[in-house]
Amino acid sequence: MRSSLNQMESVNYHNIEPTYVTAEDVISQELADSLMALVDERGKKSDWSYNPDCLEYQIANPFSKIRNDPCEVVSELLPELFNVGQSFLRTVNSAFQNTICEMATGYHGFWVLKYMQNGKFEKHCDWDASYQGISPPVVGTVCIPLNDTYSGGETIIYDNGGTQKIVYREKLTALVWDGWTQHSIAPITQGQRYALVIHYTGTAK
């Protein structure tokens, strides 16, 4: 599979409050199609209280082995996924030097999400200093919409005062924010929304 993220040539840094990053066409359409098929066939009901109308499928998450479901198809996808994961690890470390993030050192594998109609995710931040004592806390997040055949479902980023700053939903384009930035997913009004999410773990200053 081909990835267009080889040299991160399409990454854009937006130095507002909060700082966020966008990068276009970061995965291939072939990979997106395979991930959507995986969550359709093997996805499980999300156990996050904020996210009841969602299926999730986790790949290569060392901190949540119970929800990993390895299969032959996944092994074929891992090279491109790991390329994306490592590329954005470098991006998180360079982009958020002006935030509380000290260093991203790894990530919680790859989460494939399927939001049903009326599904949403309330405003929250991803930083969790304990994460049930299982893993380091989340210091950065990458979200990549896998399709655009739905209405609603925008990713919304808020400033420190709780005001909406960014509303985003570009297919195969990554949106990256730090672990302390509040964000939400608007309700899906029509269709189904698929996304790939990578949570980066590390340390705070």
What does pLDDT average to in each consecutive run of 10 residues of the chain (205 residues)? 46 70 93 96 77 83 63 85 94 88 90 92 79 74 96 91 85 93 93 96 88
Residue in 88, 87, 85 with CA at minimum distance from that of residue 77: 85
Handedness of CA 67, 123, 32, 21 (dihedral sign): negative
Instruction: Give start and end residues of each alpha helix (H) in the chain.
Output: 29-42, 72-95
| Amino acid symbol at 186 | A
Domains and CATH numbers, the chain: 11-204 (2.60.120.620)
pLDDT one-digit tens code per residue, 101-131: 889 999 988 999 999 999 888 888 888 755 5
pLDDT given at position 132: 57
* Contact predicate 137/179, CB 8 Å: yes
pLDDT given at position 134: 62
Question: pTM of this prediction?
Answer: 0.88
Provide Rg for the chain, Cα atoms: 16
pLDDT given at position 17: 67
Pairing of strands 121-124, 183-185: antiparallel
Question: Phi and psi of 13, rounded to 5°?
Answer: -95, 130
pLDDT given at position 80: 93
